[in-house]
Amino acid sequence: MVERELVEYIVRSLVDYPDQVELNVIEGEKSVIIELRVSPDDIGKVIGKQGRIARALRTILSATANKSGKHTSLEILD
């Protein structure tokens, strides 16, 4: 899955503890949910000031998901 690999690559580049990045993909017929877990120390780096990094990740994700025709969402879990 291209979306999963893309999110994983970007997030691992942002955080201090890339070994603690976990992605769980839940696929449905018309939607895909990507659950992201990172170290508690890195959660701020993934979200960014006023959610800018998270919003940018979701924008990139939705652009790549349009090719597959499925709605894709990113959830950042504590």
pLDDT computed for residue 49 by the predictor: 95
Give me the domain span that covers residue 61: 2-77
* Whole-number Å distance between alpha carbons of 7 and 2: 9
Name the pTM for this structure: 0.87
At 68 the three-state DSSP class reads coil
48: left (phi over 0), alpha (psi -120 to 50) or beta: left
pLDDT at 29: 87
Consecutive 10-residue runs of the chain (78 residues): their mean pLDDT?
Answer: 89 95 92 94 94 94 84 91
CATH number, domain with residue 19:
3.30.300.20
